[in-house]
């Protein structure tokens, strides 16, 4: 498995190249609303001829809680093609940018993920952000193949089936401090790759549905 991370060649401190399964994903890691708006504008320009069928890989992360106190969603990850956004919600200021709210609420876009219903419920509770058109990849895979058992598998399994790749999900990263102001490279890898593989699986499944 080919996984690596380097700071982006332009020298920006918040853009990284993340490598997975022979692909290079340009990843923006930021709490800044302005940069989120720029990322969305770039995505919608690049894919301007297919916005009526745009697929967006989506995932969220938060710091686990070992008490009754629930920690809020710390990062929102979005991926379209080879462009990924890791938005640090806890540090973005008093408001989520309206442009992101409209992007997530666009009924023409399909936001795909595994366990996405629970993720989006928590996102709504913690940040009052709604996603209009969410697609559960396990249910879509089960429908397309006629194999109901796929409704109960994990993302790693789907990655093996549809991408022919192995995916690492180390517990120390998954259960780590996602509320850090500066994410480490392992966290950036993890966050990016989760959203990227959701996009890729969604793309493959949506293509087979037509």
> 151-190: per-residue pLDDT in tens?
999 999 999 999 999 998 888 999 999 999 999 999 999 9
Per DSSP, what are the bridge partners of residue 135? 112
Q: Which of 130, 69, 122 is nearest to 96 (CA)?
A: 130
CATH homologous superfamily of 3-208 equals Ribonuclease H-like superfamily/Ribonuclease H (3.30.420.10)
Q: Which of 97, 83, 70 is nearest to 179 (CA)?
A: 70
Whole-model pTM: value is 0.92
- C-alpha 30/C-alpha 15 separation (Å) is 9
Per-residue pLDDT of 79-127, as tens digits, reads 999 999 999 999 998 889 999 999 999 999 999 999 999 999 999 999 9
Mean pLDDT of 10-36: 89
Measured CA to CA in angstroms, residue 123 lies from 129, 136, 186 at distances of: 6, 16, 23
What does the longest C-alpha to C-alpha distance in the chain come to? 48
- C-alpha 16/C-alpha 21 separation (Å) is 16
């Amino acid at each position: 498995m080919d996984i690596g991370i380097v700071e982006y060649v332009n020298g920006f401190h918040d853009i990284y190249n993340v490598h997975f399964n022979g692909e290079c994903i340009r990843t923006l890691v930021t709490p800044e609303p302005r940069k989120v708006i720029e990322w969305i504008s770039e995505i919608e320009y690049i894919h301007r001829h297919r916005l009526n069928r745009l697929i967006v890989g989506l995932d969220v992360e938060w710091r686990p809680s070992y008490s009754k106190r629930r920690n809020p969603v710390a990062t929102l990850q979005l991926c379209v093609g080879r462009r990924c956004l890791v938005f640090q919600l806890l540090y973005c200021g008093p408001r989520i940018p309206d442009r992101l709210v409209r992007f997530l609420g666009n009924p023409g876009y399909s936001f795909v993920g595994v366990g996405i219903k629970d993720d989006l419920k928590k996102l709504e509770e913690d940040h009052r952000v709604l996603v209009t058109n969410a697609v559960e990849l396990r249910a879509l895979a089960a429908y397309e193949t006629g194999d109901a058992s796929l409704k109960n598998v994990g993302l790693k399994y789907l990655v093996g089936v549809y991408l022919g790749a192995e995916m690492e999900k180390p517990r120390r990263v998954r259960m780590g401090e996602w509320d850090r102001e500066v994410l480490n490279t392992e966290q950036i890898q993890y966050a990016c790759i989760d959203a990227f593989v959701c996009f890729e699986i969604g793309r493959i499944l949506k293509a087979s549905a037509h």
